[in-house]
Amino acid sequence: MSNKYQELFTPFKIGKVTIKNRFCTGPMGISGIQGSLQDWGPNVQEYYLERARGGFGLITTGVLFADTEIDPFDPKYSKAPLYNPAVFKKGAQHLVERIEAYGAKFFCQASMGLGRVAPGYKSPSPLPNYYMPDKITTALTHDEIKRKIDQVVRTAQLYKNSGVHGVEIHAVHWGYLLDQFVMTMTNHREDEYGGSFENRMRVLKEIVEGIRQTCGDYSIVVRLGLKSYVKAFNKASLTGEEEAGRTLEEGIRVCKELEKYGVDALSVDTGTYDSFYYACPPSYMPKGHALDLYAKAKEAVNIPIMAGSRMGDPDLCLKALQQGKADAFVLARPSLADPYFPRKTERGTPEKIRPCIGCNYGCISKANDLGEFPGCAVNPRALREIEYPEKKAAFPNDIIIVGGGVAGMEAARSAIMMGHKVKLYEKSDHLGGELLAAGNRPLKGEVSDLNEWYQRELKDLNAEIHLNTEMTAEKIIDAHPDVVFLAQGASSVMPRSIVGIDHEKSVSALDAMEGSKPVGDSVVVVGGGEIGCEVAMHFVLQGKKVSLVEAMPDVMSVEFVPRQCKQMLKDMMEYHNVPVYTGHKLVEINDSGALIESSEGERKTLIADTVIMSIGMRPNPSLKEDLAGNGIDVYEIGSGKRQGNIYKAVHDAYEIVYNL
């Protein structure tokens, strides 16, 4: 069916290879699913195949390492295909064959290595390690560089021999090893691989030339960060000023040089680990934030520019294509959140696309920072396609869901889709629960998008929803359901012990963010966790005068906060000169505002119209005990059960529904 997005479904070429449309999956080296990637196990295959079924024209793997000799073997990262080429080839051929059935193409990344952003890896010059800045890396010897280049070339050769359609060289981005070679900040070598621009580019040149020599006209993409947004090691530049990494001018020079070497396309983005919120931007970063930079690259070269990073919006992609800012769109996290992004766009139903909320929790933090199995906050099947094949319940249940927040809505959605009979009861006059407060625009607009998505999905599924209906245990027992989900949510903690907690200036974070209580022009936010910092920034962006009070020596130091979110929130608060009173606790809310006390006992009054309390959440009273012993299966889900986040609410709901 023809629709306004048709231009996004015209083919483009990467070298000799034709990609059927403009949608490419973003490479994601997700530990946990990639496994060894020697054998392309069923979960890996199913993950990629699901994205091919979803309509992506190009599927690119996450990082695959070329090195089998120099970098230490770390089980966190997948093994190099060169460890066992025969096994790799067999698995790759099988996957390519199946991916081709959907008309998609399959490229593999080949990485020279990580350098200073991994523990114990060597880099172009001695550099502070990203994770342990007081540890200095060892410089690669000339011979090691040559061997590493050779391994990347041999890896590309293996890809070609395995039927893989192209290679993406990983990566002159995110501050990985090749990026370190190209940037003056990280390359202080005095041999032919350091110093002048030509010398810093030499490794890349030799890799591309090597692949050309051995693989002929094989398609080559380079992943390239156009600008680093770095002030110093481990210090980002929010505004892009005082650039110590790659400037846009040098980024464009790199583009031109790569075109000269014979590279077929550039997959562009921005940022490095040091400026992680540019590399892997949270929702605070506007969508399409780097499009104007991509347009500059597009003007400079004649090879396709594939635009990544916060491009998960079909209208944004269409406009960028029409304005000539990019040729194709690289969707990483949006392809996790909804593998069917292109198909829904092509069908003219973009509103059906489940939005990635840019939380960085499930995909990147769980694996990289918490050492847990990754997933996607909003798509419980992502990376679990094998564990959760689509199914219908053999014995449909009558289900009552109490509470229409995210957990309740997910339980309703998945249960109806699996064939259960569902009635959802919500005591207020609207669905969404805490999503309403959490989905503040512009910082977290995608949480509101998610709320709207759920409501549309439930409408399309003809869900039976009763608003303004408070359920009691008696009413539930009288209705004789087989299963009850209690998704009764949580409320802001408002300690009675604080003098003035009932003062008219005192407002809970939930009420302030939902807009159910007015917030004046000068605001004190009490509680510097992630939510408190987001609340503070939300009102700063509304032009209010905001101070933040936190009892601990630093903000966001108690609960886990994804490092990209934390870094960006801190930099935004610094940029907007938000006074942050760490090591202070709230003593009293009074007519002047907030009386606070430092850990040394010094008191100070912060003049404010409103004092917003963001010191935690407490589960709402549950009906669980009242329902016991009535032959009904009762499950508590969402923030009423365990404090957490959208990930836990969605995953708990889906897991239980799936196994009913």
Known catalytic residues?
176
- Mask: binding to ligand FMN, 358-377, rule CB under 6 A, as x and -? -----xx-------------
115 binds, among ligand FMN, ligand SF4, none (CB under 5 to 8 A by kind): none
Q: What is the dihedral of CA 417, 420, 423, 425, to 10 degrees?
A: -70
Is residue 202 close enough to count as binding ligand FMN by CB under 6 A? Answer: no
d(CA 518, CA 609): 10
Q: What is the dihedral of CA 323, 328, 334, 336, to 10 degrees?
A: 170
Name the residue number minimizing CB distance to ligand SF4.
362
Closest of 618, 627, 653 to residue 638, by C-alpha: 653
d(CA 99, CA 604): 64
Q: Which stretch binds ligand SF4 (CB under 6 A): 43-51, 262-270, 351-359, 492-500?
A: 351-359
**SS3 assignment, position 328:** strand
| Least separation in angstroms between CB 195 and ligand SF4 | 39
Applying CB under 6 A, what is the total number of residues that bind ligand SF4? 14
Task: State which of residues 29, 288, 500, 527 lies at the interface with ligand FMN (CB under 6 A).
Answer: 29
298 or 344, CB closer to ligand SF4?
A: 344
Is residue 63 close enough to count as binding ligand FMN by CB under 6 A? Answer: yes
Instruction: At 654, list the tokens.
Output: 């889906």
Between the alpha carbon of residue 365 and those of residues 360, 382, 561, the distances in Å are 6, 15, 9
Is residue 223 close enough to count as binding ligand FMN by CB under 6 A? Answer: yes
Is residue 155 close enough to count as binding ligand FMN by CB under 6 A? Answer: no
Q: Which stretch binds ligand FMN (CB under 6 A): 188-196, 303-311, 536-544, 594-602?
A: 303-311
Is residue 51 close enough to count as binding ligand FMN by CB under 6 A? Answer: no
Q: Within a 13 Å sphere around the CA of 290, how many CA atoms are in the beta-carbon half?
A: 33
d(CA 642, CA 486): 12
Between the alpha carbon of residue 505 and those of residues 45, 126, 353, 528, the distances in Å are 56, 55, 41, 19
Q: Kindly report the backbone phi and psi dihedral angles of residue 340, in degrees, each rounded to the nearest multiple of 5, phi listed first.
A: -100, 20
Q: Which stretch binds ligand FMN (CB under 6 A): 135-143, 325-333, 612-620, 635-643?
A: 325-333
Between the alpha carbon of residue 88 and those of residues 25, 92, 366, 530, the distances in Å are 21, 6, 27, 43
| Least separation in angstroms between CB 255 and ligand SF4 | 28
Name the residue number minimizing CB distance to ligand FMN.
29
Is residue 308 close enough to count as binding ligand SF4 by CB under 6 A? Answer: no
173 or 333, CB closer to ligand SF4?
A: 333
Cα angle for residues 515, 518, 519 (degrees, 5° grid): 100
Is residue 305 close enough to count as binding ligand FMN by CB under 6 A? Answer: no
151 or 309, CB closer to ligand SF4?
A: 309
Instruction: At 40, list the tokens.
Output: 């392309």
Q: Which stretch binds ligand SF4 (CB under 6 A): 359-367, 416-424, 501-509, 581-589?
A: 359-367
Is residue 400 close enough to count as binding ligand FMN by CB under 6 A? Answer: no
537 binds, among ligand SF4, ligand FMN, none (CB under 5 to 8 A by kind): none
Is residue 227 close enough to count as binding ligand FMN by CB under 6 A? Answer: no
| Contacts (Cβ under 8 Å, ≥6 apart) of 344 | 338, 350, 352, 353
223 binds, among ligand FMN, ligand SF4, none (CB under 5 to 8 A by kind): ligand FMN
Is residue 353 close enough to count as binding ligand SF4 by CB under 6 A? Answer: no
Helices (H), 360-403: 366-368
Contact 496, 506 (CB under 8 A): no
| Least separation in angstroms between CB 238 and ligand FMN | 17
Q: Within a 13 Å sphere around the CA of 645, how many CA atoms are in the beta-carbon half?
A: 19
Task: State which of residues 378, 484, 519, 608 lies at the interface with ligand SF4 (CB under 6 A).
Answer: 378
- Interactions with ligand SF4, residue window 316-335 (CB under 6 A): 333
Instruction: At 402, list the tokens.
Output: 């109490």
| Least separation in angstroms between CB 289 and ligand SF4 | 15
122 CA to centre of own chain: 28
Q: Which stretch binds ligand SF4 (CB under 6 A): 156-164, 339-347, 360-368, 460-468?
A: 360-368
Task: State which of residues 225, 308, 375, 439 lies at the interface with ligand FMN (CB under 6 A).
Answer: 308
Applying CB under 6 A, what is the total number of residues that bind ligand FMN? 23
Q: Kindly report the backbone phi and psi dihedral angles of residue 550, in degrees, each rounded to the nearest multiple of 5, phi listed first.
A: -140, 135
Task: State which of residues 46, 50, 71, 269 lies at the interface with ligand FMN (CB under 6 A).
Answer: 269
393 CA to centre of own chain: 32
Task: State which of residues 17, 30, 254, 318 lies at the interface with ligand FMN (CB under 6 A).
Answer: 30
Task: Output the 3-class SS for 506-537.
Answer: EEEHHHHHHCCCCCCCEEEEECCCHHHHHHHH
362 binds, among ligand FMN, ligand SF4, none (CB under 5 to 8 A by kind): ligand SF4
Cα angle for residues 127, 133, 137 (degrees, 5° grid): 35
Binding site for ligand SF4 (CB under 6 A): 333, 336-337, 356-363, 376-378
Binding site for ligand FMN (CB under 6 A): 26-30, 62-63, 109, 170-171, 223, 269, 280, 308-311, 331-334, 363-364
